[in-house]
Chains A and B, each alone.
Chain A
Amino acid sequence: MSTTGMRYVDEFRNPQLAAGLARAIAHAARPGRNYAFMEFCGGHTHAISRYGITDLLPANVHMIHGPGCPVCVLPIGRIDMAIGLAQARPDVILCSYGDCLRVPASAGLSLHKARARGADVRMVYSAADALSLAQREPRREVVFFAIGFETTTPPTAVVIEQARALGVDNFSVICNHVLTPPAIDALLGAAATGRDDAPHLDGILGPAHVSTVIGSAPYDFVAEHHHTPVVIAGFEPLDVMQAILMLIRQVNEGRVAVENEFTRAVSLTGNRKAQALVEGVFERREAFAWRGLGSLPHSALRIRPAFARWDAELKFALEDRPVPDHKACECAAILRGAKRPSDCALFATVCTPQTPLGACMVSAEGACAAHFSYGRFRDRERAATTGTQP
Chain B
Amino acid sequence: MSTPDPAYRRPIDLKHGRVDLAFGAGGQAMAQLIAELFARAFANDYLARGDDAAVLPALTAGERLVLATDAHVVSPLFFPGGDIGSLSVHGTINDLAVMGARPLYLAASFILEEGFALAELARIVDSMATAARAAGVAVVTGDTKVVERGKGDGIFITTTGVGALPAGRDPGGARAQPGDAILVSGTLGDHGMAIMAQREALAFESEIRSDSAALHDLVETLYAATDASAIHVLRDPTRGGLASTLNEIAAQSGVGMLVDEASIPVSSAVQSACELLGLDPLNLANEGKLVLICAPHATASLLAAMRAHPLGGEAACIGEVCIDPQGFVQLRTCLGGRRMLDWLAGEPLPRIC
Contacts and interface: CB of A to CB of B under 8 A. Distances in A.
Contact of B337 (A51, A97, A125, A147): A51
Contact of A15 (B263, B265, B267, B335): B335
Given A3-B271, A6-B275, A353-B345, A97 B336 contact: no
Classify chain B: how many residues form its interface, as a range: 35 or more
Interface string A341-365: 0000000000011100000000111
Interface in B291-316: 316
Interface stretch (B127-135, B163-171, B325-333): B325-333
B61 interface: no
B350 A125 contact: yes
B31 interface: no
A70 B271 contact: no
A377 B330 contact: yes
- Grouping DSSP codes into helix (H, G, I), strand (E, B) and loop, the B interface class, with mixed when no group exceeds half, is loop
Interface stretch (A53-61, A161-169, A314-322): A53-61
Interface centre among B200, B352, B353 (most CB of A within 10 A): B353
Interface centre among B263, B272, B338 (most CB of A within 10 A): B338
Interface stretch (A79-87, A251-259, A368-376): A368-376
A5 interface: yes
Interface string B259-272: 00111111110011
A374 B275 contact: no
Contacts of A294: none
Contacts, number: 120
Nearest to A101: B349
A175 interface: no
B200 A354 contact: no
B334 A71 contact: no
A14 to B, nearest CB: 9
Interface in A1-42: 1-6, 9, 13, 15, 18-19
A219 interface: no
Interface centre among A3, A54, A364, A372 (most CB of B within 10 A): A3
B120 interface: no
Nearest to A52: B337
Interface stretch (A148-156, A181-189, A196-204, A277-285): A148-156
Interface in B94-128: none
B334 A13 contact: yes
Contacts of A98: 347, 349-352
Nearest to A9: B275
A49 B338 CA distance: 9
A99 B338 contact: no
A353 B350 contact: no
A123 interface: yes
A375 B268 contact: no
Contacts of A51: 333-335, 337, 339
B30 to A, nearest CB: 35
B352 A52 contact: no
Given A1-B261, A2-B316, A52 B351 contact: no
B340 interface: yes
B153 interface: no
Interface in A134-160: 147-149, 151-152
Nearest to B275: A9
Contacts of B267: 3-4
Interface residues of A, number: 51
Given A53-B335, A380-B326, A148 B271 contact: no
B266 A3 contact: yes
A115 interface: no
Contacts of A376: 340
B352 A70 contact: yes
B313 to A, nearest CB: 13
B82 interface: no
Contacts of A354: 345-346
A18 B349 CA distance: 29
A374 B345 CA distance: 13
B342 interface: yes
B352 A148 contact: yes
B281 interface: yes
B353 A209 contact: yes
A302 interface: no
A99 B351 contact: yes
A102 interface: yes
A213 to B, nearest CB: 10
Contacts of B338: 52, 55, 377
B352 A102 contact: no
Contacts of B337: 51-56
Interface string B142-169: 0000000000000000000000000000
B208 to A, nearest CB: 13
A57 B342 CA distance: 23
Contacts of B332: 52
Given A6-B271, A15-B335, A373 B340 contact: yes
12 contacts: A1-B264, A1-B266, A2-B316, A5-B272, A52-B338, A55-B337, A123-B349, A237-B335, A364-B278, A374-B342, A377-B340, A380-B326
Closest 7 CB pairs of A and B: A52-B337, A98-B349, A5-B268, A353-B345, A55-B337, A374-B339, A18-B335
